[in-house]
Each structure stands twice: as C-alpha cells, then as structure tokens.
Amino acid sequence: MVTRKDVAARAGVSPSTVSYVISGNRPISTETRDRVQRVMRELKYTPNAIAQSLAGSRKGIVALHFPVDHRGLNTTEFEYLTAVTQRARECGYHALLWSDPVADIDSLQTMVASQMVDGLILLEVFTDDPRIPMLTASGAPFSLIGRPADPDGLTWVDDDFDSLAAQATDHVADLGHRHLLYLAPPFDDLERGHGAAVRTQFALESAAAQRGLSLTQFHAARTTRGGLDAFAHVVSRSPRPTAVLAFNELAVSGLLRAASAASVSIPRDLTVVALSHADVAAEMMTPPLTTVSPSATELAVRAMDALADLITGRARPAPQAFVQPRLTIRESSGPAPD
Amino acid sequence: MVTRKDVAARAGVSPSTVSYVISGNRPISTETRDRVQRVMRELKYTPNAIAQSLAGSRKGIVALHFPVDHRGLNTTEFEYLTAVTQRARECGYHALLWSDPVADIDSLQTMVASQMVDGLILLEVFTDDPRIPMLTASGAPFSLIGRPADPDGLTWVDDDFDSLAAQATDHVADLGHRHLLYLAPPFDDLERGHGAAVRTQFALESAAAQRGLSLTQFHAARTTRGGLDAFAHVVSRSPRPTAVLAFNELAVSGLLRAASAASVSIPRDLTVVALSHADVAAEMMTPPLTTVSPSATELAVRAMDALADLITGRARPAPQAFVQPRLTIRESSGPAPD
DNA sequence: CTGAAAGCGCTTACAG
DNA sequence: CTGAAAGCGCTTACAG
C-alpha cells in the first residue's frame, strides 16, 4: 500500500506537509501543493480511512438503526432506509445498517462504545424507547425519525399526524362518507408504544370526532391474512363502513384481494385510503391507492442534516421538525355509495 | 473514555495483558484473567474498534454494493440486502451500504483503497461489470451475487437459470399452455448486460424451444405503466398468449391491473408466473402470484459465508455455487383456456 | 511557509 | 505466565 510517507519521499517534502495538502488546514505554497498533488495522483495514493479516524476525530460513518423483532421492513420503511443512505452519502458519511430487537440494546451500546460511528439515526421510534436513554447517556450524537412520548431536548423529525388525520378524514368526508373503519396495525404495536401507530390512532379518533364521523377500528395482523380478516369485519358491521383508512401495508393488500373475491368494487362500493404508505407500493395495487403520506426523502434529509449539524457541533438547540404529509388521490377513493 | 490503560492500571497488570485477555491470543493465568475481566465490567470498558482495526488487520466491516442508475431497488433486491446484512452480522461483520451508478466506479475504488472494509459483496452483477476488474486489481476480497460473462476465478453465487426456466415452462406446459409471453425487463437492461436479465431470457428461449412452446417477448418499462403496455400487447397478438412469464416486478402489477380493468380473469383467462420475485411481493398481489424464485436468504448466506472464508484466507479455490429456484404455486396460474 | 515529533488506542513480536 | 516496546498511518500542536 502507498502511504503518506511514500508520497512525501517522492515529492521531497515531509509527511506532515502531505497531510496539510490534503486537509487544507494550513497555508501551503502553490508550488509545493501542486507537486504533492501530482505525486499523489501518480502513486494513486488514497489516505487510510482507519488511520484518519484514529488520529482525527471524524470517522465518516453513521449508523442507521431500526428495530426488527415483530416483522420485516415494509416498502415504506425501506424507502426511508435508502433515502437516509443516500443523504448520508451526500453529507460525506457512509451508512452502516444495524438492526436488532428494540429491547435488545446491548449490541447497539457496544457499537456506540466502540466509537466506530460519528452518530446514529434511529428509525421506528417507540413512545418509550430504550435506545434513547442509552444513547443520551453515551453522549453519542443521534437523531430520530419519529419521536418518543417525551421528545424534549432530542433531535427528531416526525410526521405531522394531526395534519395526516385531517387530510385523510377531510378527503373521505368530502366524498360523503360518514362511517369509517380504521384498519390499524396489530394491537401489539400500540401496546408496545410504536410511536407512529399510537399517534396515528389518536389523531384519527380526534379528527373523526371533530367532523362528526363514526370511526371504528380493526387491528389486523401485519400480513395479507390480516387484511382478509379486516374485510370480513367491514362487511359484518352495521352500519357498514364505506371508507377504510389503513395504516398497515400488508393488510391493505389482503383487503383488496378479499374485496375482489367478494365482488365489492373499490372505490364504487368501498373507499380505501392508505396512510404513510410508499408511493411505489400504492401504485402496485389494483386499484392504485389514494394515500396520505409524508415524503420519505424529506424525513431522511431533515434527519440526516440535523445529525450532521449535531456531529459537527453546529446546531444548538436541537433541531426538531414536523413534516407535512401530502394527499395523493389515486383510484381507490370515490363518492360514498347512495 | 475508558481505555485499555485504565483497565490495566486498575487491575494491576500491563496494558498488553488486557489485550491478551480480550483476544485470547496467549495463555493467561485464571486469576489474572478473572481480575481483568471483572475490572473491564466495572469500568464498562469497550475496546476502540478503530484502534483495533489500525493495529490489527480486521476491520469488521463489509460493504454491500448495488448499482442504482436505472431505478430504485425492488422488493426482491431489498430482500437480498436485508438477508446479507443479517448474515454479515452473524459472521461478525457490520454491513456498510453503498450504491452508485454501475459505470461510476471511482467512489467504490476510493472506498476500497481507503481500506475501510475487509471485503465486499456486489449485487446486480452485469455480464461485463466494470467493478470486477477494478476490485480484482485492488486485491480486496469480494464475492458476487450473480456473475459476469466470464466468472473464472471469481467467488460467486447465482441462480440456476436453466432450472428456473425449466420449472416455469414445465409448470405452464403441464397446465396445457402452448403460447407464452415473456414479460421481460427493459431492453436497455439486456443491452447493458444485466446478468440475470440476459440469462433468464436465454434460458427461457431454450426451455420453450425444447418443449415446442411458442415464446414471444415484450420488454416492458420497469413501471406499472410498462405492465399496462404489456397487457395491450398480449391481447393484440394472434395467437394470443395464454400464459405470461414475468421478470419485472413493477410491470407485473400493471399487467394485473390492466387485466382486471379488461375483465380478463387471472388465472381463468390468463396465467401469470413471476420469476425471481420476492414472496412477500407475490402475496400482496391480487391474485397472489405463482413464482419461481431462489431463496434470497440462501443466496445471501452463501455469498457472505464465501466472503468470510476469503477474508480469513480459508477457501482456496474460490467458492462458486448455483442456487436452485423453487416453484411456489399460488393463485395466478391455472389450466389453459379451452 | 515547512519540518520533527507527540499522540490516537490498539496488536503483537521480542524478551524474560 | 507477563511486561516493555515497536508499529499501524494518520492529525495536529510545537518549533522555527
């Protein structure tokens, strides 16, 4: 391997001068700089990242941590991952993927203590998330996509759930629907305090109440089967809901299939609006789903930029931001039947 | 931060003894070892991973590299990523996510030259993949999921495309289908030499010919729209294909939608078999898709284990392996009409 | 504007 | 069985 010493010898300067040419941390004569740069190119010299990390303070790596006990990631979560990875790179960081059961914070703690990363982004934040006190105690910079019950002093970006609920209920109310079903994530998620699940539910209840709409809920398994069950529930209720608001990507697909099998036409007989659902997943469905979703890219950019500010020590106080979801009307929503 | 020196001082031993207790690289008296371990726990000491990397040879990081110029990752590719990430961890490595345009190998080269990773796994390999000669020249250990035109001397795992094609054509032939349509990836992918696209196409052509089946092709855009176009093509052909074999995740969804809109029932009027399609994506469709797919986990495990062997210097000659796809009959395939 | 040197926190031969 | 020391390849004060 070519080292800084090799470059220095060939360029006739001291090793430290090579370092300063690279970092630009002190004035170098044009002549010296040009010569060193030429030699670096000739020798195809690339600084050793590990040595830079140890001597300097910057590691150039951020970890993305998502919990995975209950299920795999869905398309929406995957979008977040890729968006954060891309933004990390634009900010000059490599992205390390990391996932454990939420409750199992030991390996995360070890990784942080081993000082391998400059900072972390946590996804799928729970209202009482054990990762947060641990990271706070460690002193490592981190930012959240989502937020716990008490987000004071933390750096986070999150959906504006009130706006999300308002847009979804307004959309179906405007179409004349009065009886709504909330196709919710498994009850388990609520009990464990999954932030988005809890906040979406509360926001919907309050938005429906304000508009005088009836809203019942069905907690479906995060599987296609869960959606079949949800459909059975829809047709058994009286009065029968005419619109389903869904926050459960896999169950929605089951609901669509069950509706198709029962010759219940969407949207003629039943309106479906998917919440926080990736565009690409919505467009793969038959019919394509009307969604109310935040932009994964916007969440990722804000979370990563906030983390970068935290790492470099810009940014007190901690940046906190709500991202506004957007309604995209596709073909799964229509006027309430008669 | 607590360092090795702190532990040594408190345990009354030399710093090197602490290192040897951790690595187990030389005999230590039980008494000393116990004392050192107790102090490490008391001080919550975690070795600095960066310093270990610089002094030792192991970095504990592998990079996963997938090209991304033409499109985002689909669910199937995402499955590979998560499977490899998980296996990497089981093998004691962190996974660094990395992606550029295929042709743009500079940043990949810089990362490798900076010696940040122990090795790499390349996904979405092209028949003439510029990443491969570059990495070979660099001397960095790497393994491939997929393979180039000339895979000699490389470490790779790949689908057995002949088996895949045989299973798919046998399945539809057994159901009485004689006229097949291959819903292929964009022609562009073939031209650029996307390994799986090229091999799937050749294998299907040969399998269909052997069985005396007619096979026409339609290269669809990797979008829902591409599938709508493909459906229009199906119904315009004479004789009309009764079975579609598809290697294009997004286009399949468009095809299903177009069929539904035209009241063409699947599988009664048209059979659809998806190739190399993630189970979870297949089960989200209406109807759930019959698939012929390799196990992403098996590919990931083999690729990662091979890489680990390469890194540690076990494993000459280079491991190379075909993974057998499996037919999963769901609801999108049925007997040929009349 | 540039060089000689300490230090980052480890691993591991060298020495006993 | 254990310690003192060189070395990994850098960054950056210290000195001129």
Chain centroid offset of residue A57 CA: 27
Q: How far off is chain A from B96, nearest CA to CA, in Å? A: 5
- With 0-12 / 13-18 / 19 or more C-beta atoms within 10 angstroms meaning exposed / middle / buried, residue B221 is buried
Predicted pLDDT of residue B7? 95
CB-nearest to A75 from B49, B75, B260 is B75
Predicted pLDDT of residue B165? 98
**Taking residues B102-124, what's their average pLDDT?**
91
Test A82 with B96 for CB contact under 8 angstroms.
Answer: no
> What residues in chain B have their Cβ under 8 A from chain A's Cβ atoms?
1, 44, 46-51, 53-54, 59, 61, 72-73, 75, 78, 82, 85, 94-99, 110-111, 113-116, 224, 250, 253, 256-257, 260, 280, 283-288
Q: Please give the structure tokens belonging to residue A299.
A: 């969440």
Name every chain B residue with its beta carbon within 8 A of the beta carbon of A113: 44, 46
> What residues in chain A have their Cβ under 8 A from chain B's Cβ atoms?
1, 44, 46-51, 53-54, 59, 61, 72-73, 75, 78, 82, 85, 94-99, 110-111, 113-116, 224, 250, 253, 256-257, 260, 280, 283-288
Quickly give A312 CA vs C2 C1' distance in Å.
Answer: 29
Test B286 with A256 for CB contact under 8 angstroms.
Answer: yes
Share the mean pLDDT of chain B: 93
Predicted pLDDT of residue B326? 97
Test A257 with B287 for CB contact under 8 angstroms.
Answer: yes
Quickly give B29 CA vs D4 C1' distance in Å.
Answer: 20
| Cα–Cα distance measured from residue B46 to residue B17, given in angstroms and rounded to the nearest whole number | 15
**Residue B45, CA atoms < 13 Å, CB-side half-sphere:** 23
Q: How far off is chain B from A8, nearest CA to CA, in Å? A: 18
Q: How far off is chain A from B250, nearest CA to CA, in Å? A: 7
Quickly give B89 CA vs D9 C1' distance in Å.
Answer: 28
Predicted pLDDT of residue A315? 65
Q: How far off is chain A from B213, nearest CA to CA, in Å? A: 30
Report pTM.
0.92
Q: Which residue's structure tokens are 């995402």?
A: B78
**5-64 on B, CB < 7 Å from strand D:** 12-17, 20, 26-29, 31-33, 51, 54-55
Distances from the Cα of B307 to the Cα of A307, A316, B90, B145, B320, angstroms: 32, 43, 13, 11, 11
Test B96 with A95 for CB contact under 8 angstroms.
Answer: yes
CB atoms within 10 A of CB B205: 14
Predicted pLDDT of residue B69? 64
User: DSSP character for A27?
Assistant: -
Q: Name the phi and psi angles at B7, rounded to 5.
A: -65, -45
Distances from the Cα of A57 to the Cα of A60, A61, B3, B135, angstroms: 9, 12, 16, 29
Predicted pLDDT of residue B317? 64
Q: Which residues of chain A have pLDDT under 50?
A: none
The gap between the terminal CA atoms of chain A, to the nearest Å, is 76
Predicted pLDDT of residue A69? 63
Handedness of CA B256, B258, B263, B269 (dihedral sign): negative
Poorest-pLDDT segment among A249-258, B71-80, B238-247: B71-80
Predicted pLDDT of residue B316? 62
DSSP readout, B206-275?
Answer: HHHHHTT-EEEEEE--SSHHHHHHHHHHHHHSSSPPSEEEE--HHHHHHHHHHHHHTT--TTTT-EEEEE
Strand D–CB A60 distance below 7 A: no
Nucleotides of strand D under 7 angstroms from a protein beta carbon? 1-5, 7-13
* β partners of residue B144: B122, B156
Test A95 with B97 for CB contact under 8 angstroms.
Answer: yes
CB-nearest to B116 from A50, A253, A284 is A50
| Cα–Cα distance measured from residue A258 to residue A241, given in angstroms and rounded to the nearest whole number | 15
Predicted pLDDT of residue B66? 87
* pLDDT above 90 as % of chain B: 84
Closest by CA to A316, choosing from A170, A190, A141, is: A141
Q: b or e along B22-44 (b: 16 or more beta carbons within 10 Å of the residue's beta carbon)?
A: beeeeebeeebbebbbebbeeee
**Taking residues B132-155, what's their average pLDDT?**
95
Test B284 with A53 for CB contact under 8 angstroms.
Answer: no
Test A97 with B110 for CB contact under 8 angstroms.
Answer: no
> Model confidence at B82, in pLDDT bands (50, 70, 90)?
confident
Predicted pLDDT of residue A68? 76
Q: Which residue is nearest to nucleotide C7 (CA to C1')?
A: A55
Residue B250: closest CA among chain A residues belongs to which residue?
A284
**Taking residues B62-83, what's their average pLDDT?**
80
**Taking residues B167-174, what's their average pLDDT?**
98
**Using one digit for the tens of pLDDT, what is the confidence trace for B295-323?**
999 999 999 999 999 998 876 666 789 99
Residue B1: closest CA among chain A residues belongs to which residue?
A113
Name every chain A residue with its beta carbon within 8 A of the beta carbon of B257: 286-288
Q: Please give the structure tokens belonging to residue B332.
A: 């999108």
Q: How far off is chain A from B189, nearest CA to CA, in Å? A: 20
Quickly give B38 CA vs D6 C1' distance in Å.
Answer: 29
**Using one digit for the tens of pLDDT, what is the confidence trace for A84-110?**
998 999 999 999 988 877 778 898 999
Name every chain B residue with its beta carbon within 8 A of the beta carbon of A41: none
Closest by CA to B237, choosing from B215, B260, B266, B268, is: B215
Test B51 with A54 for CB contact under 8 angstroms.
Answer: yes
Strand D–CB A25 distance below 7 A: yes
Nucleotides of strand C under 7 angstroms from a protein beta carbon? 1-5, 7-13
